[in-house]
Amino acid sequence: MANLKEIRNRITSIGSTMKITSAMKMVSAAKLKKAQDAITAMRPYSDKLSELLQNLSGTLDADTGGVYAQQRSVSKVLLVVVTSNRGLCGGFNSSVIKQTRANIANNYQGQQVELLTIGKKGNDILRKEYTVVDNQSAIFDELNFENVAEIAENLMQLFADGTYDKIEIVYNSFKNAATQIVKVEQFLPIKPAENTAAVSLDYIFEPAQEEIVSALIPKSLKTQLFKALRDSFASEHGARMTAMHKATDNANDLRNDLLLTYNKARQAAITNEILEIVGGAEALNG
């Protein structure tokens, strides 16, 4: 059994760790509220815009932006992998990395796959296994629509000029603070509506279909990428808050166990000292 000094040092160390994990939990909880409100407010707009774009995709030609709806034979794929810049968030990053590996192994055998990473944690691991053409981790330092739009425009150009035949986004979708769902979402080409029979294409365009669609497609794609990053951002803070909450509880349990061990050891040491004193006194009397 460890001596009393070693146990005291461990109790002090665990107490310091608890202060850190508890503070990290509170910081993530504060950031989560803002990020959750942002993604909750954005989802209806993004979903409706994507639905409208899918419905219109069947009417597009190359002159009205149909290049983004072209279904090509897939030989070269780009995966946009979204993780976090920091750790201590449970399985948040590992689940995205695992899904990326599974997606490549199951769906793109024989095809050339390259990655664009957003988040340092995913970049540090995946660049050792795959070709990473770009890393945009700095986007989380100032996550706004304008900065994300630049990345989306670059992706659109890479698809339009034929560099890639398909672009997908792998990210964590926010459900609640304890649950994040890993999604693989097609970015380009634009997916047509699944139930084409139920889709009405009887639209009245004002001022003109070409003008509306040419403006709608880029905006929809930029919004789709921005929503994915917002989702991932909220999921990260939810995962970190949950992980730090569990870490604080585990540290508290361990500290209580050590306190019990310490008190037992101290009581045993005091008892031994009393026995030694009594034994010494009896020896003198004898």
Which residues belong to the active site? 89
Give Cα 144 distance to the centre of its chain: 17
Q: What is the pTM of this model?
A: 0.84
Least confident piece of the model among 52-56, 124-128, 184-188, 196-200: 196-200
Beta strand spans in the chain (E):
76-82, 112-118, 131-135, 166-176, 179-188
Q: Is pLDDT of 198 > 50?
A: no
Q: What is the pLDDT of residue 65?
A: 52
Average pLDDT over residues 206-210: 68
pLDDT average, residue stretch 33-43: 90
| Residue 87: φ, ψ to 5° | -95, -150
pLDDT of residue 102: 96
The mean predicted confidence, pLDDT, of the chain is 87
Class for domain 24-243, per CATH?
alpha beta
**In this model, does residue 239 exceed pLDDT 80?**
yes
Domain edges within the chain: 4-20+247-276, 24-243
Tell me if 168 sits within 8 A of 186, measured CB to CB.
Answer: yes
pLDDT score of 283 more than 60: yes
End-to-end CA distance of the chain: 35
What are the structure tokens assigned to 133, written together? 């053409």
Give the 3-state secondary structure of residue 188: strand
The pLDDT of residue 57: 59
Residue 244 pLDDT exceeds 80: yes
Q: Is 104 in contact with 79 (CB distance < 8 Å)? A: yes
pLDDT on residue 269 = 81
